[in-house]
């Protein structure tokens, strides 16, 4: 069994019909998305997501004027990532957990 993740697709657009079209296109494009993302782009099940970056690039090429965001949460507690896609290009950023420094004045 491979490493599994839950992914949510966000289409940055005020046009509800366009969001639905793009999510449907993603579900048609990706076997993982078909099985694990619902009609609203929400992650409903884990999948291996072997080709998420390349699938996001392809989806972005299909809709080059729309910003797409895929939020991925892996099996490990500190494994989370967002993939931004626009005009056939992608940017991947991993999440970082950051804690505030100790401050004695905040003690209650």
pLDDT, tens digit, 9 for 90 and up, residues 56-105: 999 999 999 999 999 999 988 889 999 999 999 999 999 998 899 999 99
The whole-model pTM stands at 0.87
Q: What is the mean pLDDT of residues 5-30?
A: 97
Residue 12, helix vs strand vs coil? strand
pLDDT, tens digit, 9 for 90 and up, residues 20-38: 999 999 999 999 999 999 9
* 42 class by beta-carbon count within 10 Å (0-12 exposed, 13-18 middle, 19+ buried): middle
pLDDT reported for residue 37: 95
């Amino acid at each position: 069994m491979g490493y599994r993740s839950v992914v949510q697709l966000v289409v940055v657009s005020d046009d509800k019909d366009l969001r639905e079209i793009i999510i449907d296109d993603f579900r048609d494009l990706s076997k993982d998305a078909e099985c694990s993302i619902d009609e609203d782009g929400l992650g409903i099940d884990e999948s291996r997501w072997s080709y998420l970056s390349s699938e996001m690039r392809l989806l972005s090429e299909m809709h080059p004027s729309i910003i797409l965001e895929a939020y991925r949460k892996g099996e490990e507690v500190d494994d989370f990532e967002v993939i931004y896609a626009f005009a056939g290009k992608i940017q991947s950023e991993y999440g970082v957990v950051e804690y505030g420094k100790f401050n004695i004045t905040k003690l209650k």
